[in-house]
Amino acid sequence: MGGTRPSRIVDLSKEIAENPDDPIFMRVKVKHHAHGRARWLVRILGLPFRLFPKDFAGWADDTITRMGVHATTHIDAPWHYGPTDAEGRTLPTIEEMPMELMFGPGVVFDMTHKADGEEIGVADLESALAASGATLGEGTIALIRTGRDVLQGTRDYWKRGTGMSPAATEWLIDRGIKVMGIDQWGWDLPFHHQIRRSKEEGREDLFWAGHLVGRRKPYWHIEQLRGLDALPAHGFDVAVFPLRLKGASAAPARVVAFLYD
């Protein structure tokens, strides 16, 4: 039965938790309901207390009262980048992600040397790939390790980091990669760096440029990964399964890596 069993499974996903240090647009709110509340619900439904199981405290329950689809580890659908592609065709939403793209061999690109505000270029990817000895192909899932996951849970997380240039993003796509991910807050440079560069250079094509490659060449990318330092450069598999949210631009995802002896 089955294939090779992994020797180790590494969770690459953030814990979903309420954190007052998150900016308001990333804030998650979860209400935890104690066990005793359920006893009264069952009583209202008609079961007398005397017939309750002796050790029945009631079930615990929890409600996510607030969580944006981009607030935690998630994967963006091409719909996030715009309503249509360059030819005017409607871009897919998250529930339309093909299942065959959700599992594949992983390759880590070490970009921890890139400074805050310094964009990742094609030469950076080529150098990291040559140093690792990995190869790319159809179905490969590319993971960009910036090391900024150490800032998760802090006020600075969304403000710190490097970012994938449009040329580097397109370079991956042209090598057969449809799914890619990064361990910082976003795929591009942090917003204030994008805005600064746009003003300094007087250009209209710099803001969100890595994302917008997806309007010309649709692709799917994961943001807010963690723990990429626990992975080798290659020789492992990655699974990324987003929640099946109809019509959504993205969905929270449990992303895990499978390592083999």
- Distance between CA 128 and CA 142 in Å, rounded? 12
Q: Is the pLDDT of residue 17 over 90?
A: yes
Residue range 157-174: average pLDDT? 98
Q: Report the chain's mean pLDDT, rounded to a whole number.
A: 96
pLDDT score, position 1? 41
Q: What is the pTM of this model?
A: 0.94
Q: Is 80 exceeded by the pLDDT of residue 240?
A: yes
Percent of the chain with pLDDT over 90: 95
Q: How many CA atoms lie within 13 A of 40 on its CB side?
A: 5
The DSSP annotation for the chain comes to --SPPPSEEEE-S------TTS-GGG--EEEEEPTHHHHHHHHHHT--GGGS-TT-----EEEEEE--TTSSSEEE-GGGG-SB-TTSPBPP-GGGS-GGGSEEEEEEEE-TTPPTTPEE-HHHHHHHHHHHT----TT-EEEEE-SGGGGTTSTTGGG---EE-HHHHHHHHHTT--EEEESSS-SSS-HHHHHHHHHHHT-SS-TTHHHHHHHHS--EEEES---GGGS-SSSEEEEEEE---TT-SEEEEEEEEEE--
Q: What is the mean pLDDT of residues 239-255?
A: 98
Identify the pLDDT of residue 2: 56
Place of tokens 């619900």: 41
| pLDDT given at position 4 | 82
pLDDT (tens digit, 9 = 90+) per residue, 45-100? 999 999 999 999 999 999 999 999 999 999 999 999 999 999 999 999 999 999 99
In the chain, which residues fall in CATH 3.50.30.50? 74-259
CB atoms within 10 A of CB 223: 20
- The superfamily (CATH) of domain 74-259 is Putative cyclase (3.50.30.50)
Amino acid at 6: P
What confidence category does residue 242 fall into, taking pLDDT thresholds of 50, 70 and 90? very high
User: Does the structure show a pLDDT above 70 at 147?
Assistant: yes
Residue 3 has pLDDT above 80, yes or no: no
Give yes or no for a contact between 183 and 226, defined as CB atoms under 8 angstroms apart: yes
Instruction: Tell whether the model's pLDDT for residue 43 goes beyond 70.
Output: yes
